Amino acid sequence: RSSTVVNGSSSSISTSIREESRTEVTTSSSRGRAKKESPPAEVPPPKPKEPTPPPPPPPPPPPPALKFSKHPASVSVADADPFELVAMVAPGSQKLAGKWTVNGRPVSDEVEVVADAAAGRFALKAAEALYPDDGGVYRLEVTGGEALLVTQCSVRVAPPPAEEEPGLPPPPPVIIAEFPTSATAEEGTSMVTNGGQFTLSIPVALSTDSGCYQLVAELNGAKETAAFALQILPGEDVNQKDLQSILDQHSE
């Protein structure tokens, strides 16, 4: 405790340290007694809130639909003549694989299968067509991820002259002069296949029309089969309302 004189008046100042580490200053003088306290210890500011993380990016768009840019064409060849079937798939990010069959069976070992999956090219080559083994319906299945594409065509093999190969079965009559062709199109378009003696007409093609088709023609008890395929892709600019409107127009 100490004493001093302030402006001619005596004052006393006492200082004590409390448990709360707070300093109390008491001043007394002839003018009165004042009590001062030191400010409390500063409270640290609250921590800033962590910023809200940005929303996750949208998922990448699905890969474009696989489609045939070229279907194998049906051919008519003579015995011992070469032939080649070629199909092209529009390349994408999917890893492609192809498989050929003829009449539901694996192709002959005499037939060369050439595949360039990176380019989407699948070919089948026969150096010499053999009657009647190499004739029939050739089917190609292409897989890419979970997608499956199927197309098909016909190969007609005429027999050699009877004097060269006696004992061969007689050839079937040629009934179908022009083979139908396979095609890829978008929904809402009209399809006309083989606009000759036999015609398949679809005024408004839908994705449900995709698939493998066979034309079976009969003449005097004999039959001939021609195979083809249609791939109908969902139209990018065609919605269900537009399709229904087109269907209604054709049904009137």
Look up residue 218 and give its amino acid. Answer: E
Domain assignment present for residue 43? The answer is no
Reported as a pLDDT band with limits 50, 70 and 90, residue 23 is very low
pLDDT tens digits along 157-184: 998 887 666 777 777 777 888 899 999 9
Q: Are residues 109 and 219 in the same domain?
A: yes
Give yes or no for a contact between 121 and 147, defined as CB atoms under 8 angstroms apart: no
At residue 250, does pLDDT exceed 60? Answer: no
Q: How far apart are CA 157 and CA 128, in angstroms?
A: 10
Q: Are residues 21 and 145 in the same domain?
A: no
Q: Are residues 19 and 131 in the same domain?
A: no
- pTM, entire model: 0.70
Q: Are residues 115 and 168 in the same domain?
A: yes
More confident residue, 250 or 102: 102
* Three-class SS of 23-76: EEEEEEECCEEEEEECCCCCCCCCCCCCCCCCCCCCCCCCCCCCCEEECCCCEE
Q: Which two tokens stand for residue 68?
A: 């045939």
Domain assignment present for residue 63? The answer is no
At residue 239, does pLDDT exceed 90? Answer: no
Looking at residues 186-204, what average pLDDT do you find?
A: 78
CA-wise closest residue to 134 among 115, 114, 160: 160
- Domains held by the chain: number: 2
Q: Are residues 155 and 103 in the same domain?
A: yes
pLDDT tens digits along 137-152: 999 999 988 889 999 9
> Whole domain around residue 17: which residue ranges?
2-37
Would you state the pLDDT for residue 10? 43
* Positions of E strands within 117-221: 121-126, 136-144, 147-158, 183-186, 191-193, 200-202, 211-219
CATH of the domain at 146: 2.60.40.10
